[in-house]
Structures are given as C-alpha cells and as structure tokens.
Amino acid sequence: MINFSELLWKSGQRNDPGRRVSSVAEPEESRVVPALEHAPVARAQFDEGGRIAQLTDSRSSGADRFRFLRMRLRELRELAKLQSLVITSPMPEDGKSTIALSLATALAEGGKHPTLLIDADLHRSSIATNLALPPRPGLAECLEDGSNPMSHIVSVEPLGWYLLEAGEARRNPTELLQSAALPAVMQGIAPYFEWILIDSPPVLPLTDALSISRQVDATLLVARAGRTPREAIEESIKLIGQKHVLGIVLNGAGAEGLSRLYPQYYGRYEKK
C-alpha cells in the first residue's frame, strides 16, 4: 500500500523513494495513438487560483505532491500490471473527484502519456461541471445502448488528458454498473491509454465502486484529512479487499494539518 505519509519523505531519509526510483525506467515519451487524434477538443475552464491551476504551475507544492504520487504509481507499474485505477472514498465530499482531476493532470504530463478519466459517479457526476464543460453522452450511454466509448471521448485542453463524461442514466446507475456492459467498455478502451482513472461514488453508502473495482487493476482510496473517521477507512478497505487497495491519498492535509496529525514525519521534513 502507498502510505500517504510517504508523500512527505525527502531524499536521504529512510525508505527514500527517490533512490529507489532511479533504478526504474521512465515511461517512453509521447505515444502516438491514431484513434485519439480525432477526439473533439473540449476547452476546460478553471479558477486561476484553484487546485487544478496549481498543478499546471510546476513549482507549486500541490504539483510536487502529485508528481510524487505519479512517480510511485509508475514504480508500482514496474512490479505488476497497473493501467486502470478506480478512485473512491468512504463518504461523499471526501475529495474523490478533486483527486481524480489532479491525478489525471499529473499522469498525463501535458499530453505525453495518454490518460483517460471516466466519470463513473452516475448519481452525482461532477467532472464536467468542475471544468465548466457542457454535459454530453458518456459512460451511461455506453452501458445502456452499447455505444462505442471512443465515440464519446473528448480531449480536455489545456490539461492534456481525455475524458469520458458520466452521461445521463435512464436506468438505475448501480444496476448499470453491475451489468456485463462495464467489462466490455473497459476492454474497448484499454488499448488506447497508458492510464485509465475512474472517478466513482463513495463506497460505504453504495456498491457502485465495488462493481467498478472488479473491472480495474487497483483501487485508490481517498480520505479527507481531519474528517474521514479511521473506522470508515477500515470498513472501506474491508469491503474492497485489502489486496485491491493500492493506497490511501490523504486529501486536504495542508502543511499545518500534517504537522499536527503526523508530527513524526513532518518535523523531519521541515528541518532538512
């Protein structure tokens, strides 16, 4: 499991990931994927001072954290197949969609690595709204009518990744995600992307994320610092299955929060 506290380790410290990663080859530069060349461009809008803008500024601490997470994911990919990841959390509002947006931006690295984000929260989709993109057909239509996911995927600029929106479900979303149509969608898109991230509903109130987790390589669990109770995290891990949970991303732990919550790591980081 990736421990969130690893996000704070610096060179020279115990378990220094920087040293380990030097032996891991970086993925190749831009892959040309002809099937994606003609994806319509969707121009995203986001706040200048907002979290995504922070990521496009490579010097920000937010960008640094996500670069680190990217490095860890690339490392783990050297050990086992790791292409598709579902992002979930115990409860609503923990920050799943926020982390999904940021992680897609980091993994795509300005378009060098074909990355797809699927909005699979068919109950409360928020990715398109967050980017001020108009609603369009997406995952729900693929699951309901068997339409080709590649025909609904858009290229999100200036973020450099691809998006399959949630679309509009006419049937019960939970049942839709349990159908055999989901594995078919996953198989249809797999050849074209290096990374596939799936934003999903919370795992405690709904079974959607569990259905999705059966069709992807691993689950990334999001917890909201100072809010998500430890028991809720433990219960979620139990439901998903410990082996399937790749790690926990602690969302909203600013420097101050971290120094209070995890002084054993933060103190060392600060003094270096």
CB of residue 179 to ligand ADP, shortest distance in Å: 23
- Say whether residue 89 binds ligand ADP (CB under 6 A): yes
Strand order of the β-sheet with 154-157 is 41-43, 154-157, 161-164, 115-119, 195-199, 84-88, 218-224, 245-251
* Residue 115 vs 200, nearer CB to ligand ADP: 200
Q: Give bridge partners of residue 251 from the DSSP assignment.
A: 224
Alpha-carbon distance of 219 to 177, in angstroms, equals 16
137 in helix, strand or coil?
coil
Measured between alpha carbons, how far apart are the two ends of the chain, in Å? 26
* Residue 188 vs 229, nearer CB to ligand ADP: 229
* Residue 84 vs 102, nearer CB to ligand ADP: 102
- Say whether residue 93 binds ligand ADP (CB under 6 A): yes
Interface positions, 64-123, toward Mg ion (CB under 5 A) = 96-97
213 binds, among ligand ADP, Mg ion, none (CB under 5 to 8 A by kind): none
Size of interface with ligand ADP, in residues (CB under 6 A): 11
Tell me the backbone φ, ψ of residue 84, rounded to 5 degrees: -115, 135
- Say whether residue 125 binds ligand ADP (CB under 6 A): no
Alpha-carbon distance of 203 to 214, in angstroms, equals 13
CB of residue 117 to Mg ion, shortest distance in Å: 12
Question: Which residue has the closest beta carbon to Mg ion?
Answer: 97
Binding residues for ligand ADP, rule: CB under 6 A, are 89, 92-98, 126, 251-252
